[in-house]
Structure 1
Amino acid sequence: MKLYNHLLSALIFASLLLSCQEKDYSQVITNGDYQFAAQKKLTEIIIHDIFSPPVASRIYAYPSIAAYEVAVLSGGDYQSLMGQLNGFEKKDFQASEDVYFPLAALAAYYKVGTLLIFSEEMMQEHRDEAFKAIKAQGVPSRVMEASIAFGEEVADHVIAYSKQDNYHQSRSFEKYTISSDPNAWQPTPPMYMEGIEPHWNKIRPFVLKSADQFKSVPPTAFSTEVDSDFYREAEEVFKITKNLTKEQSDIAYFWDCNPYKVNVKGHVMFAEKKITPGGHWMGIAAISSKTAQQDWKAAAETLSMTSIALFDGFIACWDEKYRSVLIRPETYINKYIDEDWLPLLQTPPFPEYTSGHSVISNAAAEILTKLFGDNFHFVDSTEVAYGLPVREFKSFRLAADEAAISRLYGGIHYMPAIVHGSTKGKKLADHFLQTVQSKSENLASN
């Protein structure tokens, strides 16, 4: 009987010991899926809150940087962006042994992203659901608490950095004053919206030395003479849009990315919300990371590097837009060629030169090419949620070329804006790749 009792006690003790042992939670977060889901929610909110393309690029960048900095702190050969990005001061962080770094990176992303949008409750709800799902997979409460606290500590440093980029000050700057010069940009139908973000070149870039570091050559000299270069450029837009193939139309719609699309039917006017150009490329970055089966650290690098290139791309592009303030094809063609002509795509509310999609697409494509290679095949399903089919690409550069030429097919840009915009984006990316280290060697060497 005594032996039985001893055996029973031993079994009970062993059972209690096993029940007290923690589950192995090290594999709960292994890739970027949780951050991709957070980014997707952020995209939905950007669309819901109707942020402009330049502002949207800012909203993507800072959370991505915060998540990446946590990845750096987890160990390995990744290099901090502190001391590399303009004005991003170095700071030491001490993580306790309870910190689960993949979770901390996610917490950093959510905190920064939530503070940059209007509909904060939507992001907070998404965050709470993600944390609940992670905890349910066996992550102990003390680890959850320590990880979230550490991630938010890193987030606070990034938030402080973001507040110094002149964005908040620019909210009170003067609106763009419409010029009466015949070559100057004019608001276009159907909403005749004022020019957005005329002072975006005053926002602090991450890597560029100045907004005009890669200043484009001036646009073609304005003229209404039928034998002039400018007239021929406008006529090219007019003729191409009058004879588009289905493939050309599909390309134009796929890369439209206009968050300002307004539809008018009779006396009824309604908005059609869409993803921004930067949002499209952040979607491509996530798709590529999944395709390459990157771990969570590499995924954080991919999103942060892409977002930085996009952010600086918009600054460089907008610097030229409000220097040249060039008339859009819709205005010129209606006045000098055909008063009834309409572009396939709705003209965005800002000057023509250079093409924003051409700049930022090429900047992002060069970064992604360095990360994944020259011939990286991917299926771009970014626009499926907005009623468009997938498109497949054999490389990021081919995707960027298509994004750029889509602006001609859409009738919203002359060819020089596409050519010189693409050049600007490539120059910006090359400078970025030669300047920023994300690993032990420059990103350009990876």
Structure 2
Amino acid sequence: MKQLIICCTLLLCLMGCKKKEKDPELTNKDIARVLEQMTQFMIHDVTNPPLAGRFYSYACISGYTVMALNDSSVVPLKGVLNEFPDINTPLDSGAYSPQLSAILAMTGTAKKMQPSGKKFGDFEQQFLDSCRKIGFSDEIIAHSQSYANQVIKQIMPYAKKDRYHRISNYPRYTPLNTEGSWYPTPPAFFAPVEPYFNTVRPFFIDSAQAFKSVPPISYSKDKNSPFFKLLTGVYTEGGAGLTPEHREIAGFWDCNPFALKNEGHLMVGLKKISPGAHWVGITGIACQKAKVNFSKALEIYTVVAMGITDSFISCWDEKYRSNRIRPETAIRRLIDPKWKPLLQTPPFPEYMSGHSHISSTTATILTYYFGDNFSYTDDVEENYGLKSRKFSSFNEAAKEAAMSRYWGGIHFLDGIENGVNVGNAIGKHIVDELKANQIKPLNQSNKL
């Protein structure tokens, strides 16, 4: 009997020492899947560029918050972001996967914020089916969902307090229709987009006015004036003087969700992503090439999304303050009434260039994480019929994105150059905040 007890004890010890099976893991590609689905819904909803940045930001913040509660390498956002609240650890809901909870927090936040968010149900079901195939149990999935829901409930009030919801209560913006001011352009003559976006609370910068640009060159009919020099530059270099390469670059960075084309008697919207969506895609390319682990990739996506939003808040503040005329309108009035730009003019004032602004901010952030000589192939828009382009650095891509607006005939050169300057300044400010809060660039420990 004694020997039997000893044998049983040894057997139990051996069973206890048996190595536990490793929990299934998700990767940065799974984060990319969520953001790509968000992008598809934005295309369907014709989400404007500044608002797209806001949607990406809060979805990523929810996922990031889950990881900050579970991964000591992830710095909590309290004290890093403006007005970010204390986050309570969700109540014990059993065994869960932090990575899966982070993904479900992202989809759940997007579901609540995007107009087509309810359609995320189908995506979630497909995603969870794929999780079951790699070993996630129904119990883990249920507990992970419960954890995610508790985080979402704490993030949504923070999102609501950014004041975006108040915009609908502001008086309708009416174009001034004065000499030198912006006015809606063909073919659709859309109403101005987000004239009050500067009232939204930013994440890193103190306010929309924290990084004000120098004023734009003043409108003038005088053919010897600095403005007329800008005007003729767009007329010649953004029109008949375009090289094939410049045409290709302009088309590559168009990213105009409001673009239309005529089909018979109908005007049909073209499927195009926003500039922020393009840079979110570039972020994914970089994370996959560098084999960044799940937590760090989610951090990078989150910082990029918030940087894009802050950059839009700053840029839109200047746009509706200076309210400068678009090249298309000015050229038709002063030079050639039949002139058309290569690209369709977006529905908001010219100064400064939003592409220049947000591309420079994002490139500065990505350079901090990945380095200044990070080469990559940008195939983000291959699904929309655009050939991929190769870049030796993020800054090279940002400079090309900026100049694409000049060659496309929709921005003056000072609006581009000063957009780059302010965008870079915001990016550097964000990088300084990351450094101050010990949010570090990549190293070997961040890889899969």
Query: Normalising by structure 1, what TM-score?
Result: 0.92
Matches within 5 A, 1:37-116: 37-94=33-90, 96=92, 98-116=95-113
CA distance in 2, matches of 1:180, 1:366: 37
Q: Does 1:269 align with 2:267?
A: yes
Q: Per-residue displacement from partner, 1:198-252 (whole Å, max 9, x unpaired)? A: 1000011011111011100100011011110000101000100211111100100
Q: How far 1:321 sits from its partner (Å)?
A: 0.1
CA distance in 2, matches of 1:414, 1:265: 30
CA distance in 2, matches of 1:80, 1:163: 20
Give the structure 1 partner of residue 326 of structure 2: 328
What letter is aligned with 1:345? Answer: L
What letter is aligned with 2:324? Answer: L
Distance 1:437 1:158, change over 3 A: farther
Matches within 5 A, 1:253-268: 253-268=251-266
Q: Secondary structure at the match of 1:264?
A: strand
Give the structure 2 partner of residue 151 of structure 1: 148
Residue-pair matches, total: 429
Q: State whether residues 361 and 400 of structure 1, in contact with CA within 8 Å, keep that contact through their aligned partners in structure 2.
A: yes
Matches within 5 A, 1:417-428: 417-428=415-426
Q: Does 1:187 align with 2:220?
A: no
Q: State whether residues 175 and 198 of structure 1, in contact with CA within 8 Å, keep that contact through their aligned partners in structure 2.
A: no
Distance 1:24 1:369, change over 3 A: same
Q: How far 1:302 sits from its partner (Å)?
A: 1.2
CA distance in 1, matches of 2:34, 2:207: 31
Q: Secondary structure at the match of 2:169?
A: coil
Give the structure 1 partner of residue 446 of structure 2: none
Q: 1:362 aligns with which of 360, 363, 368?
A: 360
CA distance in 2, matches of 1:202, 1:445: 34
CA distance in 2, matches of 1:332, 1:59: 34
Q: State whether residues 195 and 320 of structure 2, in contact with CA within 8 Å, keep that contact through their aligned partners in structure 1.
A: yes
Q: Per-residue displacement from partner, 1:352-378 (whole Å, max 9, x unpaired)? A: 000000000000000000011110011
What letter is aligned with 2:266? Answer: V
Q: State whether residues 112 and 118 of structure 2, in contact with CA within 8 Å, keep that contact through their aligned partners in structure 1.
A: no
Q: Does 1:373 align with 2:371?
A: yes
Specify every segment of 5 or more residues in structure 2 that has no aligned partner in the other structure, as ranges: 1-7, 444-448
* Percent of aligned positions that are identical: 36
Specify every segment of 5 or more residues in structure 1 that has no aligned partner in the other structure, as ranges: 1-9
Q: How far 1:137 sits from its partner (Å)?
A: 2.0
CA distance in 2, matches of 1:444, 1:127: 31
Distance 1:430 1:443, change over 3 A: farther
Distance 1:444 1:181, change over 3 A: farther
CA distance in 2, matches of 1:170, 1:99: 39
Q: Secondary structure at the match of 1:171?
A: helix
Distance 1:373 1:95, change over 3 A: farther
What letter is aligned with 1:348? Answer: P
Q: State whether residues 211 and 422 of structure 2, in contact with CA within 8 Å, keep that contact through their aligned partners in structure 1.
A: yes
Q: How far 1:22 sits from its partner (Å)?
A: 11
Q: Secondary structure at the match of 2:261?
A: strand
Q: State whether residues 24 and 135 of structure 2, in contact with CA within 8 Å, keep that contact through their aligned partners in structure 1.
A: no
Give the structure 1 partner of residue 200 of structure 2: 203
Q: Per-residue displacement from partner, 1:127-152 (whole Å, max 9, x unpaired)? A: 11101210232212221111111122
Query: Normalising by structure 2, what TM-score?
Result: 0.92
Q: State whether residues 180 and 219 of structure 2, in contact with CA within 8 Å, keep that contact through their aligned partners in structure 1.
A: yes
